[in-house]
Amino acid sequence: MKNDRPARFAEQLKDLREEHGVTQTVLAREIGVSKGLISLWENGLREPTLSNLVALADYFDVPLDYLTGRTPD
């Protein structure tokens, strides 16, 4: 079974960011990372640390399982 969680996370993050009308720059500032790191996450080139996942989930007010693509809602 192929592990496509990183790809699902990348899609979920970009979709959430766009749904909330937030730029990569604003999101980066809000959670304390660089815009470049947000871009790497959205393109599936890097995976966030647990603390960054929690910060993203808190920012978008979604469960970690949703953010990582483990649950549809």
Residue 67 near residue 10 (C-beta atoms within 8 A): no
Largest Cα–Cα distance in the chain? 36
Q: Give pLDDT < 70 ranges for the chain.
A: 1-6, 73
In degrees, rounded to 5, the angle at the alpha carbon of residue 50 between the alpha carbons of residues 48 and 51 is 100
pLDDT one-digit tens code per residue, 14-30: 999 999 999 999 999 99
Confidence at residue 70, expressed as pLDDT on a 0 to 100 scale: 84
pLDDT score at 68: 86
Q: Is 44 helix (H, G, I), strand (E, B) or coil?
A: coil
Handedness of CA 44, 48, 28, 54 (dihedral sign): positive
> Is pTM, for the whole model, over 0.85?
yes
pLDDT of residue 64: 93
